[in-house]
Amino acid sequence: MQFLKSLVIGLGVLIFAGLGLLAYGFYHQARDPGWRMFSTAAPGEPPAAPSAPFGTVGLDLPAGCTIDDVAPDGERAYLTIGPEDGPCARVVIFDVVGGRGLGVIKPGR
């Protein structure tokens, strides 16, 4: 019986410690969205170098095509090419760090 009491008390302490760590993480994440409790870099590894400017990049769009929308997402940008009902309809996925196109999504017809 004494062992069972100790086990329940120990697990209760672990639950409260876990809740405290969650609250700590939520607090810091709310104050600084880029904050991480545990680093993903190996110990002693220098931080990633900032990206170099890549100048002008051409998309080689056919005549009459326009960029209708740009949706940035971290290191990628999604360019919606239109008009929607024409032969230009597509989404171009672009790497903004490297300055190159990663792929094109065309609607199936």
Which residue ranges make up each domain of the chain? 1-38, 66-105
d(CA 21, CA 13): 12
Q: Which two tokens stand for residue 59?
A: 């998309």
pTM of the model: 0.49
Q: Tell me: the pLDDT tens digits for 24-48? A: 988 888 888 776 766 666 666 666 6
The yes-or-no verdict on residue 18 having pLDDT over 80 is yes
The closest alpha carbon to 37, from 46, 45, 28, 48, belongs to: 28
Spacing of C-alpha 1 from chain mean position: 50
